[in-house]
Amino acid sequence: MRHASGLKERLATGAPFKSYGEIVEWLKTEYNLELTYATVYAWVHYRHIAKLKVPRPQSALQDLQAVELF
């Protein structure tokens, strides 16, 4: 199960994935695995307790001074 260790390593140290769909595509290209979104989500989210590291978008209309004061 090289794919399991490869994914675990990538989640821990590699470039972060932006979505679970991106993980599905990565597994398909790297290891020729055809997995469903639900399978990948459950495996990553519940077994590895990993969360995708993507910052939330910020509003362009927010007041910068109010943000600094906060």
Q: What is the pLDDT of residues 4-30, one digit of tens each?
A: 778 888 888 767 788 889 999 999 999
In eight-state DSSP terms, residue 10 is: H
35 contacts 24 by C-beta, under 8 angstroms: yes
Using CA atoms, how far apart are residues 42 and 66, in angstroms rounded to an integer?
39
pTM of the model: 0.66
Segment 28-50, tens digit of pLDDT: 999 999 999 999 988 888 887 67
d(CA 51, CA 48): 9
Which helix (H) or strand (E) element contains residue 42? helix 37-42
- Number of neighbours of residue 11 by Cβ within 10 angstroms: 17
